[in-house]
Amino acid sequence: MAQVIRLATRESALAMWQANFVKSALEAAHPELVVQIMGMTTQGDRDKQSPLTQLGGKGVFVKELEVALIEGRADIAVHSMKDVPSVFPAGLGIAAICEREDPRDAFVSNSAASFAALPAGAKLGSSSLRRRLQLKEKRPDLDYLDVRGNVETRLRKLDEGEYDAIILAVAGLKRLGLANRITDPIDPVISVPAAGQGAVGIEARLDDEQTLALLSSINHADTFACVSCERAVSIGLGASCELPIAAFATLFEGQISLQTYVGTNDQHLRVQGQSSRDEALAMANYVTQQLIDQGANQLT
């Protein structure tokens, strides 16, 4: 008799892509396994008008899925790692992270070839305060506007002329078969990605040893190391959507390099670090302390 794993996911097109990606990976690694997808609607999906800061931060996209895990209605939950809060409910945690897609932000426009080419006063839409603040630091002459809705909705608003350009994630556009809409990927030096951007994570009950063993087969160790380093910064600063925090780690020849950003309209803090892979979390904690020493915790 086949073993069944129940996978909880949001029902957006991108979330369902992620769920089916994990389902295929698990079933390929374990031929005796059957993964059943349970689509769920979260508060963040239901309210497409309110800014995320008013809804309570990025946890609005995962709370209902975590309740299903806690109540035993689901065995695993699949998330975009950039949506996962820094603190988990008791007994839950990220058990595996799949190999990362391109983590960069994407500049999307029908009229300008790049972010730098936008004319002064152009309307630039993004749902992410992190993105808006970093880009505004480089181009304060643009009109920065909030934009909500799924990827298709945002692209439609761009095509209808509500915006001259919008900022999305390269990974999301690629996964939805919309790579042709990427006008120009933005250099992470200009816009440091969110912690975990481009990575798909699987959350599970930490006492479910059988499921944890199955998930270990699809964990990508390099991605897990980089995302853990990034999330250490978010955890150290008590990250929420109210305080835009960016952290992006890369791994090359055993060395992890980390870029970070914390900012407001008036102040922008950037700290970098580098260490061996074995010392990555200690390095991330040191970088976090440098941000705190520079006043990150006083930013509002």
Residue tagged active-site, from 75, 83, 105, 208: 83
Q: Is 266 a catalytic residue?
A: no
Q: What is the CA radius of gyration of the chain?
A: 19
Residue 90 φ/ψ, nearest 5 degrees: -55, 130
Question: 213, exposed or middle or buried, with CB in 10 Å at 0-12, 13-18, 19+?
Answer: exposed
Positive/negative CA dihedral, 214, 45, 235, 144? positive
Strand order in the sheet with 268-276: 245-252, 255-263, 268-276
Spatial CB neighbours of 176, under 8 Å, sequence gap ≥ 6: 13, 14, 17, 151
Q: Are 233 and 243 within 8 A, CB to CB?
A: no
Active site residues: 83
